């Protein structure tokens, strides 16, 4: 290992916030994927071969929810499915951010000229976890019998 990555001037608290946000989103994405699997058995096996992005998974989940005939079940799944779809866009804003120097000299990611600060990254990670928990609860409750 030659450690070139260590030439990037960045602080550990920012890296920690980014890393936790990435893991939180991965968990959210897979909870959504498993909800799709419950609604359409065999769905998981299509993700890698078809190179489904988080955006495609979110769209698939929203479409599957719309097709649920039981209004109570559809109502329970609709909100977290819509939240996941919106959070994909927020995640894209973070992960496709541009590296730049903040006014205080810190190295940060920016999107549309706006700095992704540690509190903003943490709030986004919290939103990922909140929605992930909702989808996970559906997996083991309302969707478990499907």
Secondary structure element (H or E) that encloses residue 102, with its range: none
Residue with tokens 């980014």: 18
The residues pairing with 110 across neighbouring beta strands, listed in sequence order, are: 98, 115
Quote the number of domains for the chain.
1
What phi, psi does 110 have (nearest 5°)?
A: -130, 150
Render pLDDT for 42-100 as a digit per residue (tens, 0 to 9).
999 999 999 999 999 999 999 999 999 999 999 999 999 999 999 999 999 999 999 99
Which residues span the domain enclosing 33? 11-140
Contact 128, 87 (CB under 8 A): yes
In a domain, 1, yes or no: no
Distance CA 10, CA 22 (A): 17
Structure tokens at 28: 């959210």
In a domain, 91, yes or no: yes
Render pLDDT for 3-25 as a digit per residue (tens, 0 to 9).
999 999 999 999 999 999 999 99
Record the pTM.
0.94
Of 21, 28, 142, the C-alpha closest to 86 is 28
In a domain, 5, yes or no: no
In a domain, 6, yes or no: no
């Amino acid at each position: 290992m030659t450690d070139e990555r260590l030439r990037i001037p960045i602080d550990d608290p920012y890296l920690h916030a980014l890393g936790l946000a990435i893991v939180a989103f991965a968990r959210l994405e897979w909870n959504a994927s498993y909800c799709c699997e419950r609604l359409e058995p065999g769905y998981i096996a299509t993700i890698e071969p078809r190179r489904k992005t988080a955006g495609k998974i979110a769209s698939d989940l929203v479409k599957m929810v719309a097709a649920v005939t039981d209004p109570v079940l559809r109502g329970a799944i609709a909100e977290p499915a819509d939240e996941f779809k919106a959070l994909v866009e927020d995640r894209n804003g973070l992960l496709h951010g541009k590296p730049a120097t903040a006014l205080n000299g810190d190295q940060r990611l920016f999107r549309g000229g706006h700095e992704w600060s540690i509190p903003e990254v943490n709030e986004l990670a919290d939103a990922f976890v909140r929605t992930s928990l909702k989808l996970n609860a559906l997996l083991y409750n309302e969707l478990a019998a499907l």
